[in-house]
Structure 1
Amino acid sequence: MRGKKVVAMILILLTTLLVIEGCWDKREINQLAFVQGLGIEKGEDGMIHLVVEILKPGLLASGGGPGGGTGGGSAVGKPYAVFQANGVDFAKAFANLNDELPRSLFMQYNEIIFLDEKFARSGIYQTLDFMTRNPEFRRTAYILVVTGGSIHELFNIPSSSTLERYPYKEVLGIISNQANTSSSYVCDLNEFIQTLEIPKKAPITGKLEIVKKDGKAVGVRLVGSAVFDNDKLIGFLEEQDTKAVTVLMNKLKRSTLTLDKGLKGEKAHISLVITKAKTEIKPVVEGDKISFNIKVNVEAYLNEQETKYDITEPEKLQQLEVIVSSKIKSAIERALNILQKKYNADVVGFVEILHRSKPKVWKKVVEDWENIYPDIKFNVTVKTHIRRSGLSSKPIHPR
């Protein structure tokens, strides 16, 4: 009987401790500064500048919560404020900003990390390491490299030139919409860290360009991608090269492809929508030579045309499929050449594919991959299947 009482007392004590432990760091909403946009710059003085976009308390009080909404009521003017703090590194800048604000920074609603180009080129490993160790930061937050202006200019784009009331939501919408165009490739903090942990594989993420008019920031455009060597930015890929890379990575969801010539070589406009692209990559080892066979299967449909003949006839449709396949193959080969010769960056992860398929070969070459990768031969084959031709199967002939 006494033993049961002891067990009961222990259970009560443990329950009490759990309750206390679960509440020790409880923070009231009126003590928090909700961050919805975090930017990092490297100043001329070598210091790290942390710039944040924080929702004004009046917006929260009027019903426009941190998860969305437009706000109103007592939220006068901009629904956010921009603050900055500096430090010798990101951790110090973060601590300094917390010391200067009347509320504690709350990062769990922040979904985008904006990196100034200069900062990205200097190396971002320490900052990412701090973020992954701190539970306040979401590992699903997107990473973007900002070009064409400063983080302050980005956060202060006038609402009169945007659809959303604050830049953060504007960029989130653009990221969501680019899935239909594949004009960029945006990875999150978790994916970036995982890529860094794979030996010799290079990270890639989106490039956000600030659009200016008469010297003032009026908008943004998400186009192309930022290429890294380990944790340092080394350059950018254009839109067409980014699309080719997403095909190789099996990450392309939807994209538009335009031809400027018809089946007879005449000047014409033919537009197709790529709805699916499946890529298989296999390494081939012959002695000391390593190559990769790349097979791409594409599905598309005809979206628009300016030809005087019925391009949907079976014979002509087959000719069109050959032309589309050739264009996609050329785009892939161009992107691979840039990654090999210009950047020496294995963004696709061929070294990882070699590791999975031929681990013994990988073990011999992985340490010297930087010297081997630029000369590797890629054998690319593309097969396109055009499934349908839209609502109208025949070209329109004006009278």
Structure 2
Amino acid sequence: MIRLIKKAITFTLLLCLTSIFLTGCWDRTEVNDLALILAAGIDKGKDNNVELSAQIYIPQGSQGGQSGMSGGGSSGGQSFVRSAEGETIADAMAQLQVVLTREIFWGQNEVLIIGEKLAKEGISEHIDFWMRHSEPRIRANVFVSKERPKKVLGAMPELERDTAKQLRKIVQTDIGVKVTVKDLSEMLSGESNAAVLPYVENLPPSQMDSKSKEVPIIKGTAILKEGKMVGKLDDKEIRGILWPRNEIKSGVITINIENEQGYISLNLLRSQTKLTPSIKNNHWRINIKTNADLEVVQNTTKLDLFDPKIINKVEQKVINEIEARERLAFSLVQKKLQADVFGFADEFQRKYPQIWKQKREEWNEIFPEVDVSFDTRVKVERTGLATGEKNKGVEH
């Protein structure tokens, strides 16, 4: 009995001693004490400085106290924009903290916008900082903007909560290019040393919109070589890049058959592209093999899509359309901009490591001369039902 009492006393003392070392929540930080960064932008500032802009979320509980902020920041809904300049991004971050009453928190940052002026000067060192710093998210989506980033961040989307949500929703459709900070860093440090980024413009307010809102949209793609923006492609031209990069996920291809009135629109179901490099007699070649499955979603012609011969014509027309877009992209990117955004260098390096070691420094001269061939195969899996076919066998 005495032994049990002693054990109980000892156990109680241990519990008391342990409780001394329990810290509880003495160092916790409330959400209302943080400045939550939703999106960030970097651009060229004054006197060779870097301008850092941030879209900061206003928690509901403190919205009334913050919504009237002005002077360097533009308010909009549940967020506002603040900007600061510094000799480096780290310096600009410190300056940004000075003008905010709350501690900056980068854990919610989902978007990074790079101004076109800065992109043309070079972004490698800035992306390197973004990768090294422990706070900004490397999974944030990256964009290049025609306007200054703070203007894009200050836009007021009609359907989404803020600019960050607007841009993320657009890239999630998989219609165009989708690049994270991590992806961009890998592209800039890869053998090709070239990259593509979605290009953002503010859509002018509609004449019917009395509130005169600007809405950020993705309009084309920025091409980067050796960390600098060297050109831009429109929406049609970027399609020719997505096929070789095996990044085409969805889309509609509309064709017309020769000597036939009307159009046929086909929806892409799935696609796969493989690059096969070869070097013979110092002649560098690469074959782009693409397999695509589609379905007919609209037919305004009088063609019978149940006829195998007609389907063969449709498939050949789609092949011609895909390869025409690829050739257009190659004529601009390979011949004019000379930026290997297709990743050809990585393919040659993997297949011919010894030759690549010898020729790596000459890649800028080799790439424009690489002979490209296409092997595109298309299959129309579903043709849909015409009105007449739907009514067959239906009793009235």
TM beyond 0.5? yes
User: Could you say which residue in structure 1 is the equivalent of 2:177?
Assistant: 185
Residue identity matched to 2:356:
W
Q: Secondary structure of 1:390's match?
A: coil
Residue among 150, 153, 158 paired with 1:152 = 150
Report if aligned partners of 2:45, 2:85 keep a CA contact under 8 Å in 1. no
User: Could you say which residue in structure 2 is the equivalent of 1:355?
Assistant: 349
Q: Does 1:195 align with 2:187?
A: yes
Q: Does 1:373 align with 2:367?
A: yes
Tell me, in whole angstroms, the C-alpha distance in 1 between the residues paired with 2:131 and 2:300: 52
Q: TM-score, normalised by structure 2?
A: 0.83
Structure 1 position 392, deviation (Å): 3.2
Residue-by-residue CA offset, 1:248-298 (whole Å, 9 max, x unaligned): 111111111111x22x43342211111222112111211111111121111
User: Could you say which residue in structure 2 is the equivalent of 1:212?
Assistant: 204
Comparing 314-323 with 267-276, greater Cα deviation is found at: 267-276
Structure 1 position 244, deviation (Å): 2.1
After superposition, the Cα gap between the structure-2 partners of 1:332 and 1:111, relative to the gap in structure 1 and judged at 3 Å, is: same
Residue-by-residue CA offset, 1:11-66 (whole Å, 9 max, x unaligned): xxxx99x998x999864433310011111121354321111111124x2568xxxx
Tell me, in whole angstroms, the C-alpha distance in 2 between the residues paired with 1:214 and 1:150: 21
User: Could you say which residue in structure 1 is the equivalent of 2:123?
Assistant: 124
Based on CA coordinates, which of the two structures has the bigger radius of gyration? 2
Residue identity matched to 1:54:
I
Q: Does 1:340 align with 2:334?
A: yes
* Structure 2 residue runs without a partner (length 5+): 1-17, 64-74, 391-396
* Structure 1 residue runs without a partner (length 5+): 1-14, 63-75
Residue among 282, 293, 298 paired with 1:288 = 282
Tell me, in whole angstroms, the C-alpha distance in 1 between the residues paired with 2:237 and 2:46: 32
After superposition, the Cα gap between the structure-2 partners of 1:330 and 1:24, relative to the gap in structure 1 and judged at 3 Å, is: farther
Q: RMSD over aligned Cα, in angstroms?
A: 2.7
Structure 1 position 77, deviation (Å): 6.8
Tell me, in whole angstroms, the C-alpha distance in 2 between the residues paired with 1:152 and 1:376: 41
Report runs of 4+ in structure 1 exceeding 6 Å deviation: 22-25, 393-396
Tell me, in whole angstroms, the C-alpha distance in 1 between the residues paired with 2:221 and 2:272: 21
User: Could you say which residue in structure 1 is the equivalent of 2:136?
Assistant: 137
Report if aligned partners of 2:112, 2:143 keep a CA contact under 8 Å in 1. yes
| Matched ranges for 1:21-170 at <5 A | 27-43=29-45, 45-57=47-59, 59=60, 78-147=77-146, 149-158=147-156, 162-170=158-166
After superposition, the Cα gap between the structure-2 partners of 1:366 and 1:56, relative to the gap in structure 1 and judged at 3 Å, is: same
Residue identity matched to 1:282:
T
Q: TM-score, normalised by structure 1?
A: 0.83
Comparing 327-336 with 138-147, greater Cα deviation is found at: 327-336
Structure 1 position 190, deviation (Å): 0.6
Report if aligned partners of 1:201, 1:348 keep a CA contact under 8 Å in 2. no
Residue-by-residue CA offset, 1:357-384 (whole Å, 9 max, x unaligned): 1112212221100011001110112111
Residue identity matched to 2:242:
T
Structure 1 position 350, deviation (Å): 0.5
